[in-house]
Amino acid sequence: MLRKRGLVVVAIMTLIAGLIAMFPARVAYQWASSPLIAMGGIEGTVWSGSASQFSTNGVYFTDLRWKIRPSQLFMGKASYVISGTPASGSFDADISISLGGTVTLRNVAAFIPMRMLESAANVPGLRGSASLQFERLELVGGRPAALDGSIDVANLVVPMLSRASLGGYRADFFTQNNGIIASVEDTDGVVDLAGRLEVRLDGSYEFLGKVEAKSNTPDSIANQMKYLPLVDDSGQRELRLEGSY
């Protein structure tokens, strides 16, 4: 009798596991999708599938594909290998979601146009290209709580500053106990820039840097820089930005 009961339990568990493994991704999206996320052309299951279109907060991808890593389920996380194609460029990452809702991205390798971030950054006309190499990006409540890696931006255009290219810049990010710190510098920018960005866990940020005009700095930017306080007699000026998101 006990043997038969054991076989019944095994059969039921196998059936449940099979149903979960074959659960359609389209149905899961309809049940649990966020109003901030839109997906179309969904195929496959929650374990392995694809979507022809994906967008969130103005960021748009095509040919999004995912495949679960079952071993992480025993640790209370749903972990996926994800790849997608932005308007131009590429995106690859390992993404895990914990039972508490923490989203962690690892091994992020992406090349994206800056216009994808135009809406999210609230900078109309933002242009250029960005290369992302993140070892880890952790989001808690939608806010970054940890970030280790780098961003390289080329041919940056910010119309509120100048409609011409501002050149290239690099930021290296490190996680600390009270938030995220980044060193920022120009690589071939139209201004000499070096500074420090701090992103705190409460959603506030502060950037403190030194800038100096170059021979190729547009007159419109050089004139704006004259209103910044002088650091010393070398011609460097202090640039301070702060706020919250």
Q: Report pLDDT digits (tens) over 25-60.
A: 665 656 555 566 777 888 887 778 888 888 776 677
With respect to residue 126, please indicate whether it lies within any of the assigned structural domains.
Answer: no
Q: In this predicted model, what pLDDT tens digit does every residue of 58-101 receive, in sequence order?
A: 677 888 888 877 766 656 666 778 888 877 788 888 888 776 67
- Domain hosting 80: range is 25-86
Q: What is the mean pLDDT of residues 130-134?
A: 95
With respect to residue 45, please indicate whether it lies within any of the assigned structural domains.
Answer: yes
Residue in 53, 51, 48 with CA at minimum distance from that of residue 20:
48
With respect to residue 227, please indicate whether it lies within any of the assigned structural domains.
Answer: no
At residue 85, the pLDDT reads: 81
Residue 7 confidence (pLDDT) above 70:
no
Residue in 242, 243, 213, 211 with CA at minimum distance from that of residue 229:
211
With respect to residue 47, please indicate whether it lies within any of the assigned structural domains.
Answer: yes
With respect to residue 194, please indicate whether it lies within any of the assigned structural domains.
Answer: no
With respect to residue 114, please indicate whether it lies within any of the assigned structural domains.
Answer: no
With respect to residue 206, please indicate whether it lies within any of the assigned structural domains.
Answer: no
With respect to residue 235, please indicate whether it lies within any of the assigned structural domains.
Answer: no
How many structural domains compose the chain? 1
Average pLDDT of the chain is: 80
Indicate the residue type of 8: V
